Structure 1
């Protein structure tokens, strides 16, 4: 089974595409309705089970499924089969490079959906507005340009081992951020609904 991402591509994500959006999220204002919630218990930790379920199960799980689907789809369309050689000089080496590039680009576009979703804990994106965090928009623009340079500029392609995907493959990536954000939006809607129900069941609610 070939690796879906090379070491340098992974570093390009960790140290390149993720950096500015992460900084921008750190500057995100408090979400609407925060002061209407009861204070947290003293024994409640910063990292909670619901937070991990959202990060790993919802955002991470959906992103992983989409990205791996793009990776294996690219390999299979290139007539790859388990055990087939994909190293330098093999007939499938270019196909594998395209597949890892799809993984790289898939993670980048899923980061965009995750960034918009992570702006709030429970409130909807409509409540805060898409363009209210200008720093995040600049960070997303930077990561798109950074990823394009790695995939399209020949010297960078040689270093990072990428290969430009076909136009149809790039079109496949377009829905990824909307799927990631949409699933998380439903998750947050259910949490808001559950919180509203718990309030109405309290004495005097």
Structure 2
């Protein structure tokens, strides 16, 4: 398809598609001449992913890291999940990992890479909550962690293993787009539990 058709199929303006091409978010199409290129369904899938990331608040630089990860697919499901997690933006990335977080993970018996951005995110989020007067005692953190482990088991079980390149695309999009689903479900569950008295 031509760029105008890619625009129509994706709902993304041609000018934005050209920007994605310049920024390396979208690989070039197959050249059909000096000013024409052919774009495939893979390009359409990539545009939809980039658009979803940007619409979810991911910066262009962060989206580029994600697309670079997509262009170099991993060899195992574990590597795939790590690549997705490490490519996505991490709030509180500059926060040092707290001893409390390290201890919590040890108590849970979790195996997590020492460079995981989520370690910094968790440490920063706990510090921010406490700074705002939300105490987050150890038993609450442990409860949240156990619930998160159950959610992670569902996530991992749904990662296809036959095509890791497509799976990486799905994991990245799923991580960004399912986080708001989880937050909404938590709020609905809070309403349900509180209604029982």
When normalised by structure 1's length, the TM-score is 0.31
Larger RCO of the pair (alpha carbons < 8 Å, separation 6+): 1
When normalised by structure 2's length, the TM-score is 0.32
